[in-house]
Amino acid sequence: MLSLKKSKGQLITVDFILAITILIFIIQLSMSAWNKIVTGLNEKDQRTEIESLALSVSHLLIKTPGIPGDWNSSDVAAIGLAEESNVLTHEKVLNFTSLDKDNAKKLLGIQNFGFIFQLKDVNGDVLVEYGDSPSNIKESVVVRRLVLYKHSDSDIGSSPGNITFMEFGLWK
Amino acid sequence: MQTKGLAFILDALLALTIAVIILTAVYSAGPRAQRDYFIEGQLTDFANDVLVVLDKNESLSTLDVDEIESVLEEILPDSYATEIKIYSYRYASGSTPPFSLEKTVTAKYPDASMPNEFVRAERSFVTFDAGEIDRYNIAELEMWLR
C-alpha cells in the first residue's frame, strides 16, 4: 500500500520534471530568439536612421538653395548648395566647406554622426572634400548623387556646368 | 489513460510547432524588408538625377542616341543599367491635333535586358527653333540593378 503510494508520487514527479524541463527549454529558446530579434531590430533601426538621414541630407544639399538663398557663413539658417535643382555653384560649395564643422552638423541635423562630403569628376578624381576623419565606425552609409557643378568663372552664366558626382557619407 | 497522455503530447507538440513557426517568421522576415527601401530609394534618386542632369546639360534635347549613350557610359555606376526612351512631338499651330509624334529615340547602357524590378523616372522638356517652341518631348527612364 505504502509502495503503491510512492510509485504514484514518483510518476507525478517525473512527469512534472519532464514538463518543467521542456517548459524551461521553450522559455530559454523564446528568450534567446526574442533577444536576437530585439538586437536585430535595434541594429536595423540605427541602420535605417543613418540611411534616411544620408538620403535626406543629400537631397537637401543638391535640391535646395539654403536659407537665405544667398547665404554665407555668418547668416546661414539652412544649408543648401543648389543654384537650381541638381546644379551646384562653386560659391555655395566654398561657403559650405568654410563652415565650422560642428555648426555644419547642427544645421544639417547630424550632430551625433561623422560625415564626409565629396565632389568627384566623372573619372573619380576628388574636386572638393569636407568633413570628419573616419574613426570608430559602427554603421556607415554613402549616398551618391549626380549634379552639374559650376566650379570656375567660365561656368558661371549660361554654361550648365560639369557633370559631377556628389557623395555624402555618414557614420556612427 | 495512455490515449489521454497522447492527446496532451500532441497538444504540446502543436503548441511548440506554432511557437517555432511564429518565432522563425518574425526573426527572418522583420529586418529584411527595410533593407530594400534604401537601395530602392537610392536607385530612384539617381534615376531622377540622371534625367535632370541630361536635360540641363542639353544632352537629351539633341535626341542623338550615341551622344546620350556616351554620357550614360561615363556616369552610370557599374552595378546600374538604364534605358531612356524619348517621345518627341512636333507642334504645328492650326493642325488638329496640334501635337504629332514625330520621333521616338531609345538609348540604353549597358546593353542588358531589363528585369522585372526597376525604377522609373519621367521628365518633359521643350526644344526651340528660332526662339519658338517646335518640339515637346517626354523622356522616360528605367533603371535597375545588374
Express each pLDDT in B92-133 by its tens digit. Answer: 777 788 788 989 999 999 987 888 889 999 999 988 888 888
| pLDDT digits 0-9 by tens, A44-77 | 888 889 999 999 999 999 999 999 999 998 899 9
Q: Is the pLDDT of residue B73 over 90?
A: yes
Closest Cβ–Cβ partner in A33, A34, A55 for B41: A55
Q: How far is B44 from chain A (nearest CA, A)?
A: 11
Closest CA to B119 of B99, B101, B145: B145
Closest CA to A57 of A112, A105, A9: A105
Q: Sign of the C-alpha dihedral, residues B115, B121, B124, B127?
A: negative
Between strands A66-67 and A87-89, the pairing is: unpaired
A147 interaction partners in chain B (CB closer than 8 Å): 49, 53
Quick one: average pLDDT of B57-78?
A: 93
Q: How far is A157 from chain B (nearest CA, A)?
A: 13
Of A157-161, B36-40, B67-71, the least confident: A157-161
Chain A residue with the nearest C-alpha to that of B58:
A160
Quick one: average pLDDT of A29-56?
A: 88
- Classify the complex by whether its ipTM is higher than 0.85, answering yes or no: no
CA A127 to chain CA centroid, Å, is 24
Of A38-42, A56-60, B52-56, B136-140, the least confident: A38-42
Q: How far is A3 from chain B (nearest CA, A)?
A: 21
Q: C-alpha grid cell for residue B35?
A: 533593407
Closest Cβ–Cβ partner in B19, B27, B57 for A163: B57
CA A85 to chain CA centroid, Å, is 23
Chain A residue with the nearest C-alpha to that of B9:
A19
Chain A residue with the nearest C-alpha to that of B13:
A22
- B40 CB within 8 Å of a chain A CB: no
Structure confidence at residue B4 (pLDDT)? 57
Q: C-alpha grid cell for residue B100?
A: 504629332
Cβ neighbour number for residue A80 with a 10 Å cutoff: 20
Place of cell 557614420: A171
Most confident among A21-35, A140-154, B56-70, B87-101 (mean pLDDT):
B56-70
Element containing residue A58 per DSSP (H, E)? helix A2-63
The answer to whether the Cβ–Cβ distance between B49 and A146 falls below 8 Å is yes
Coil/strand/helix, residue B72 = helix
pTM exceeds 0.90 for this model? no
Quick one: average pLDDT of A100-125?
A: 94
Determine the angle formed by the axes of helices B2-56 and B65-75, rounding to 10 degrees: 120
Phi, psi of B49 (to 5 degrees): -60, -45
The answer to whether the Cβ–Cβ distance between B46 and A161 falls below 8 Å is no
- Position A1 confidence tier, pLDDT thresholds 50, 70, 90: very low
B9 interaction partners in chain A (CB closer than 8 Å): none
Test the B interface: residue of A39, A88, A125, A163 with most B CBs within 10 Å: A163
Between chain A and chain B, how many beta carbons pairs sit less than 8 Å apart?
76
Closest Cβ–Cβ partner in A34, A40, A163 for B75: A163
The mean predicted confidence, pLDDT, of chain A is 87
- Position B33 confidence tier, pLDDT thresholds 50, 70, 90: low
Q: C-alpha grid cell for residue A114?
A: 561623422
The answer to whether the Cβ–Cβ distance between A44 and B12 falls below 8 Å is no
Quick one: average pLDDT of B49-56?
A: 95
Place of cell 526651340: B128
A20 interaction partners in chain B (CB closer than 8 Å): none
Please, is A97 exposed, middle or buried when counting C-beta atoms within 10 Å of its C-beta (0-12, 13-18, 19+)?
middle
Test the A interface: residue of B49, B54, B58, B84 with most A CBs within 10 Å: B49
